[in-house]
């Protein structure tokens, strides 16, 4: 599905720019460019939020709810939407940290790390659990394609600026965070979401699973 392929590819860019943000925030305030800080903000606001997260919510998650009959008020979709909201708050905290100058160095770093780690966990959950599950579930309900849209000029500029930031602030090679695939690695697992099987599986998926376990 074109939209899912696009969203996947966008994750790769967002992930890289997030890594660059860590490198940017690690520099001391005396050498840190305020303009580059604003460019990071523009990238995450325009490209990650308004382009990427918005298409997930208004097209992909909406189709899962309306065409595949999956719940949006609990389970994986609700967890991903709550992540989008929480990340917007973390980004706002980072934006406020940019105004603190040298006195707010430690605070700015904390905000950047909190935002980037949340974003990475979110991308891992979507790449490893949500996206692979979407296509077969939509297909079974007769949905073979989902609409996408081109970037607006602001979103396109934010993307180019983001790519330039990755070149200027190479992401750390060994980021200090545990990442991984599957529900078990998702911070929402067992907190606001009981995991894919309990939230999304229907009767015949459970029957099939039991048959397999019984060697059938
Ligand atoms: Fe998302
Ligand atoms: Fe995403």
Distances (CA, A) of 111 to 25, 47, 96, 114: 9, 19, 9, 5
- Give the ranges where 34-104 is alpha helix by DSSP (H): 34-42, 54-55, 62-66, 75-98
Whole-number pLDDT of residue 205? 86
Q: Please identify every stretch of the chain with a pLDDT value under 70, giving residue numbers as ranges.
A: 216
Number of other CB atoms surrounding residue 100 within 10 Å = 14
Note the pLDDT of residue 67.
96
* Dist. CA 210 → ligand 1 center (Å): 32
Q: Extract the tokens encoding 74.
A: 């609990």
Q: How far is the CA of 110 from the centre of ligand 2 (A)?
A: 23
What is the reported pTM?
A: 0.93
Q: How many A from CA of 147 to the centre of ligand 2?
A: 16
């Amino acid at each position: 599905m074109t939209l899912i392929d696009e969203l996947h590819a966008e994750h790769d860019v967002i992930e890289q720019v997030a890594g660059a943000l860590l490198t940017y925030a690690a520099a001391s305030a005396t050498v840190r460019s305020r303009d580059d800080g604003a460019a990071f903000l523009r990238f995450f606001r325009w490209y990650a939020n308004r382009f990427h997260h918005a298409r997930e919510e208004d097209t992909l998650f909406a189709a899962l709810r309306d065409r595949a009959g999956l719940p949006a008020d609990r389970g994986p979709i609700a967890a991903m939407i709550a992540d989008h909201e929480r990340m917007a708050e973390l980004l706002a905290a980072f934006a406020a940290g940019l105004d603190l100058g040298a006195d707010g160095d430690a605070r700015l770093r904390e905000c950047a790390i909190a935002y980037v780690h949340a974003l990475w966990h979110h991308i891992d959950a979507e790449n490893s659990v949500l996206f692979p599950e979407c296509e077969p579930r939509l297909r079974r309900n007769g949905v073979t394609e989902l609409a996408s849209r081109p970037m607006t000029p602001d979103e396109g500029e934010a993307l180019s600026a983001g790519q330039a930031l990755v070149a200027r602030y190479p992401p750390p090679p060994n980021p200090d965070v545990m990442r991984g695939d599957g529900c078990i690695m998702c911070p929402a697992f067992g907190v606001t979401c009981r995991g894919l099987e309990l939230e999304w599986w229907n009767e015949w998926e459970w029957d099939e699973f039991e048959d397999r376990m019984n060697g059938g």
